[in-house]
Chains A and B, each alone.
Chain A
Amino acid sequence: MNLTNATEIHFADGSNISAKIKSSGKADVPKDQDAKKSGDTQLELELTVADNTPPGTNTFTVISPDGQSPPHPLIIIPPGSLISEKEPNGSFRQAQTIPFGKTIQGVIGESKDVDVFRFDGKAGAEIVAEVFACRYGSPLDSILTLYDDKAHIIATSDDTDTSTDPLLRAKLPSDGPYFLSLIDAHDHGSAVSVYQLVIRAE
């Protein structure tokens, strides 16, 4: 869809969110990306979100003289739940420490980029680590791998039956530090190869 012709952003009926188009124009196509897939136009929006808007996924469509776009997700995350990925985090030594139950917002910013996270686990704890990327429109095709403190692999996840976003479940074998690495399966990376990583105890 050519976003330069967009006239309106439409949220589902009953939504507490509205959007105003501030500007539109051409966008750089990230390296390794197909313009037909990633798009080469962009919009700048001003969003108004009511105070009582619950956390969760809202959908919107873009209206233009060419028609209406498919629905796209807009994720509302509770205040204090979002953590930004911080570089450098490309090694076990420089892994970014993350707590359970938070959402990490990150990006595989360049080709062959690796993001590593560290958390402390307890023996017998069952954990789930989940990436949300392609489901939200990101070109990232990620692989998630869980390691013990000796960099031996405990579990890995590539795709699920329904998406290329990984979902990793594991039972932790001992008390101690654990590491998660996130890479692109094709060694691609760009400013739009964004992801959200959630790690939680079950």
Chain B
Amino acid sequence: MQKDEEAIRNLVNRWMVASKNADISTVLSLMADHAIFMVPVLEPFGKQAFAANAAPATNLKSAD
């Protein structure tokens, strides 16, 4: 159980650190292939569109 909890915390931490550092390849590796982003103002979009539009300065925290 503690190993499972540690694995989940590590997964979330990897995502958060990668997002802050605009490490797009790590974010994409952790993201579900069929994820759909809900961003204010924009129509929902998927992982491919996210990857295509990701710029080095992208901060994924705003894509929650």
The residue in chain A whose Cβ has the minimal distance to the Cβ of B3 is A91
The residue in chain B whose Cβ has the minimal distance to the Cβ of A155 is B64
A181→B6 CA distance, assembly (Å) = 12
What secondary structure prevails in chain A residues at the interface with B?
loop
Known A156-B15, A158-B61, A171-B44; contact A91-B5, beta-carbon cutoff 8 A = yes
What secondary structure prevails in chain B residues at the interface with A?
helix
Residue tally, chain A, CB below 8 Å to B: 37
The residue in chain A whose Cβ has the minimal distance to the Cβ of B36 is A171
Task: Tell me the minimal C-beta distance from B1 to chain A in angstroms.
Answer: 5
A181–B34 touching, CB < 8 Å: no
| Chain A residues proximal to chain B, CB less than 8 Å | 88, 90-94, 112-114, 116, 126, 143, 145, 147-148, 150-159, 166-174, 181, 183, 187
| Chain B residues proximal to chain A, CB less than 8 Å | 1-2, 4-6, 8-9, 11-12, 15-16, 19, 30-38, 44, 61, 64
